[in-house]
Amino acid sequence: MWRRGWLLALFAVVLTGLMFLHAQVPNAVGNLGSLLETFLPWLGLGVPVLLLFALLRRSATALVALVLPTLVWANLFGGLLGTKSSATGGDLTVATHNVNAQNPDPEGTAREVAASGADVVALEEVTGDAAPTYERALASTYKYHSLQGTVGVWSKYPLADTRPVDIRLGWTRALRTTVETPNGQVAVYVAHLPSVRVKFNAGFTAGQRDHSAEQLGQAIADEKIRKVVLLGDLNGTMNDRALAPITAQMRSTQGAAGDGFGFSWPAAFPMARIDQIMVRGMEPVSSWTLPSTASDHLPIAASVRL
């Protein structure tokens, strides 16, 4: 039992190293570090697979080695398995949704998002052709709105000082506005960072996304209002080091007050949470994923205490 399964034990050690030292995996070649961090929780599936082979081999060595990746995964993601949301206590509910430029049913998508009861809604990938449909469908619920380029914000409360945020793309995919809530001003940022691709000859192509994340992070760092909410499709997870200019100064509502991982993409089989709601200067109360729409992303929502 102790002499068999040394190769399985080696795989368990490698799996442990990838999870524990993921920040040390270099991005110099194909952004492999960011690619690994995007799907980092899924490495946990290696544990039951190796466990099955260890039992088939009747290897005590492999079984003992599997304790290592199990403990590391539990340390990294075990906190996401419990229930952290609260049913009461929120002063402001927000939602965000990448509606997909090829959405065949923008009106139905708008109705689904409005049904969430959110006070503030952010939409990304709003095309010029579909914009009037979204504006018309949301007008009865949200009195105030602003559309800047392909991103927009709809609010039950007045908006002020709304302007595009330059994230160095050549066209507008981010905005900043002040929401005048009954509990004071909240600076709301809506952003859609550039897409990333996995290419055979180039690896994880995310350079433009990374540069835009730096610009957005700087804009949020310069924000004068203490309470800040970021809504949008960041095309990256909270584990991705490339989003550190943003994640280092904000809290994820899902990590602080969500149930489970809250994966949002792709809608047919969610594998990663690349749509984010992050806050600064306020307390997340609950965070959840909304029902699917005609988009390839799931909408997400959160309630915060101001």
Strand ranges inside 110-173, DSSP E: 120-124, 144-148, 151-155, 159-164
Q: Map residue 65 onto helix, strand or coil.
A: helix
Model pTM score: 0.92
pLDDT of res. 289? 96
pLDDT of res. 85? 80
How many contiguous H segments (helices) and E segments (strands) does the chain have? 10, 14
Burial label, 156 (beta-carbon count in 10 A; 0-12, 13-18, 19+): middle
Calculate helix-pair angle for 67-77, 46-57, nearest 10 degrees: 160
pLDDT of res. 82? 78
pLDDT of res. 201? 55
pLDDT of res. 200? 56
- What does the pLDDT look like over 66-100, one tens digit per residue? 999 999 999 999 988 877 887 677 999 999 999 99
User: Which pairs with CB-CB distance under 8 Å and at least 24 residues apart come from 264-268?
Assistant: 264/289, 264/297, 264/298, 264/299, 264/300, 265/296, 265/297, 265/298, 266/296, 266/297, 267/292, 267/293, 267/295, 267/296, 267/297, 267/298, 268/296
Domains, the chain, ordered by start: 6-80 (no CATH), 92-305 (3.60.10.10)
- What does the pLDDT look like over 18-32, one tens digit per residue? 999 999 998 877 788
What type of residue sits at position 158? P
pLDDT of res. 272? 96
Cα separation, 220 vs 64, in Å, equals: 46
Cα separation, 33 vs 51, in Å, equals: 26
State which residues of the chain have pLDDT below 70: 1-2, 87, 199-205
